[in-house]
Structure 1
């Protein structure tokens, strides 16, 4: 074995031992990511089909005039949409929270009350399941980093599914399940961000990747020796040298 192969063998052995667990995490999590359909991870296959009837523009204009007459502060952006088959307007201004209004009555709907959040979640969730538990979320977590505050609506549907409803807009901002939580846990192992599960530029990941690269490179250096190529070259050289010596003596 050459000197380069001996040094590479020592480095390869100890670094491989050091990195074995993380390399295993990379392969296991990568296999899971390849197998799990992303639409099921995001619970997109459990979104109920909804038909939204368009509302007349004159009704929207009348609703906005109703808000103006009621002294509602104007917004920098106005979004018109349907919420549970009712025309609503979402007004956004500056850094303040968005305001949601019912255009038919002029009543402000935000922050969305619990009962309305449950109805939104049940309309969004495909199937006959009804909300089992409801919680109020004010802080971001690895499971939810969307708009805050929000309602967390849980369903006993066999997948521990939870829908998050933004309190200011009434929009379903996230769908979580056991499959998603498994995916997220493996993702945290894959990118080595064990706290927030989202930063793949951590120094720990960079160091681990560099060490794994050294394991691969030293493995390539050792490859000819482990295949017997170096020994074959020595035997060939020895035979060639032995064949040349008698010829030299004859001369």
Structure 2
């Protein structure tokens, strides 16, 4: 099935591109000037009124005797003179392969159509302002008239549309006029009729191949749809069923049997049963944390293949977010967290910068404990939102002025965000969330950040957590260095608050990077804290500083490198990183280059 899906996707791309070409060319055909597109702008209408003098005509039999063998003979008028046109090899149509000879109708002499004759014919056929600038004999196919199979003359005029007159070399027939407008139309006809070989025909090999591709696309699409529906991967509640699944812990001890719907993936269905597996990517298959052991015969998704080796896949290891109850009869849970579903009520929503908001929530019900650096997974309900945040302060509106503020719909999903405060026995949790803008007006903004950033005060939302993957181990390091940027501030700020009260931790350095001074969040609070607390050093750094900025400049990892020598024995220092992936990759490489062991480096790969 995998190879059919790959071919299906590539076939979809090909068909999609061709449909786009049909749309564009169809619009052009509706808007174009049909007279100009035909190349007739400067074509004269030659209506001959001269009558042939039958008494002076040479007998046709005499001509046929000279021109044998012949299939037909007729009298034609060229430039007011009459000629016998003898066809020796007749094609089905005039533009097909024909072989002619020409004889003067009154003298019987053989006539060859030379350049002088051609110039006169072209001038007779042309009524524009241009003059002849060149004459060319063409033996093979004519690009402007690809159906023409016979040798022809091309006569070019120097008018504003680059007119060319084509004359059949043996018969003197005007094949046609072509100009810039006609050539442009020809390009669109080529795209519309898929005549990429310029054969001048709708019945070409490209369109035949395309028909088979479309047939393949339809067939594989139908097979794929049936397969996904049977596996429950189409979220159609009408087709959803309940399936009994036996659960085991990682020691193979039975946990009983539960019923799971085929409507949602295993991760979501287990959450509905209050069984919370670790996950930081919201079910996207990228974090690889929601590991379960099911049947070795279960389909291997691309996300599974990235997270497990061949041996593990053969044993039946899979990601719960990638599979449905259809796949399993029994399931071993490798890691069940103590997380639970919690209702949060928004109490405050404030802009810290143009694209970062601080959200404060009260916990409805029992409070919960968490380690600094923990995150929550918000359950975003389906609904509608606008692409721009509400109530943007005047000083921050420049960032959003190019975004078209329009309504969009979204389906339910989950998104993870770090808690930005330490656990101090209160019932309030804080988050700093970066509002992800739409990349263009055709796509929606970040669904989770836009929903949370536009929540009304007192509005409630459910979240799963806390999940504790990123934290400081008590009494492990007497010195710690925090390196962050952007909304990576959240878990680092929580760790800072926690470690300031930790007597074992004697020295804390916080390097925080932003583009401009306006993007530095919690600047006043952290600067004052650094001045009043001897064990805390705060180093804000800007990558695009204004002239007035007197602090550190450059990216956070570069500032860290410049300050490593002042940190003392860095081999015993703990480094905690959170921010853009590029920043963390460079910082980790820097620390390893200076001999820092992996056990002393912790990072949060989402913020």
Same fold (TM over 0.5): yes
* Per-residue CA distance 1:78-99 (angstroms, 9 max, x = gap): 2112110111111123467211
- Please state whether the residue corresponding to 1:40 is helix, strand or coil: helix
RCO higher in structure (CA 8 A, sep ≥6): 1
1:85 counterpart residue number: 80
Whether 1:50 aligns to 2:46 is yes
Query: Which sections of structure 2, spanning at least 5 residues, go unmatched?
Result: 1-7, 91-97, 223-235, 238-607
Which of the pair is proportionally richer in helix?
1
Shift of 1:60: 3.5
Correspondence list, 1:194-205, <5 A? 194-197=196-199, 198=201, 199-200=203-204, 202=206, 203-205=208-210
Q: 1:155 aligns with which of 150, 154, 157?
A: 157
Query: Residues 188 and 31 of structure 1: is their aligned pair in 2 closer, same or farther, counting only changes over 3 Å?
Result: same
Q: 1:31 aligns with which of 27, 30, 35?
A: 27
Whether 1:131 aligns to 2:132 is yes
Return 42-51 or 84-93, whichever deviates more. Answer: 42-51
Q: 1:72 aligns with which of 61, 66, 72?
A: 66
Shift of 1:207: 4.0
Using the size of structure 2 for normalisation, the TM-score is 0.31
Contact 2:74 2:84 in 1 (8 A): yes
Contact 2:128 2:159 in 1 (8 A): no
- Please state whether the residue corresponding to 1:87 is helix, strand or coil: strand
Give distance in 1, aligned partners of 2:160 and 2:198. 26
State the structure with more CA Rg: 2
1:239 counterpart residue number: none
1:63 counterpart residue number: 57
Give distance in 1, aligned partners of 2:64 and 2:210. 56
Give distance in 1, aligned partners of 2:18 and 2:57. 58
* RMSD (CA atoms): 3.7
- Please state whether the residue corresponding to 1:64 is helix, strand or coil: coil
* Per-residue CA distance 1:26-76 (angstroms, 9 max, x = gap): 1111111222244322223422133413324xx345322398289623543
Give distance in 1, aligned partners of 2:65 and 2:184. 49
Count of residues paired in the alignment: 214
- Please state whether the residue corresponding to 2:134 is helix, strand or coil: strand
Contact 1:129 1:155 in 2 (8 A): yes
Using the size of structure 1 for normalisation, the TM-score is 0.68
Contact 2:75 2:105 in 1 (8 A): no
Contact 2:15 2:214 in 1 (8 A): no
Q: 1:167 aligns with which of 154, 166, 169?
A: 169
Give distance in 1, aligned partners of 2:123 and 2:217. 47
- Please state whether the residue corresponding to 1:88 is helix, strand or coil: strand
